[in-house]
Amino acid sequence: MDVWEYFQTRDREIAEQSAAWDEPPSPYAEEHGSNGQRGRIFGRVILSDSAFLQLHERVEVSGTGVHRTEYAYFLVHHGAELWGVERDPTHTPALHKHDRHHNRSPCAVISFKDALATAWSIVSAEEDLAETTDPMGTNGH
């Protein structure tokens, strides 16, 4: 396996959850001189007209597996960050989540697929709430 195979897996997971990458350029990059063993992903996964998941991963291939040495997934809806999870060795704790006020608390490792599913559920709940509080569907417009 190399990082390019891993990147293809990410594309499949995004398509399976009815999301799409934002406009080019490509979100994928192999680290120079790594011979396909290290890479990064940085981009936006579009969920709706008003929501996206900002994502960053640093990955290393080890044998037939891939390890995400760093990751950050942040849900932005109507321009506001609602939720996020990170593995960042420069923070304490390294594995943590953020609420809509960017307060940090410990959390377990999360897969990208689960992060995307969580983002979808939050966006759905937010949009359902907006519809029930705005019976005309105008959201003040």
Using the predicted structure, report yes or no on whether residue 64 has a pLDDT greater than 70.
yes
CA distance 47 to 69: 25
- So what's the pLDDT on residue 137? 55
**pLDDT for 2-18, tens place per residue?**
999 999 999 999 999 99
Where exactly are the structural domains of the chain? Answer: 3-133
Q: Treating both helix axes as pointing N-terminal to C-terminal, what angle do 112-133 and 3-16 enclose, rounded to 10 degrees?
A: 30
Q: Can you say whether residue 35 is alpha, beta or left, with left for phi > 0 and alpha for psi between -120 and 50 degrees?
A: left
**pLDDT for 79-111, tens place per residue?**
999 999 999 999 999 999 999 898 999 999 999
Higher pLDDT, 64 or 66: 66
- If DSSP codes are grouped into helix, strand and coil, which group holds residue 126? helix
pTM of the model: 0.87
Mean pLDDT of 42-56: 95
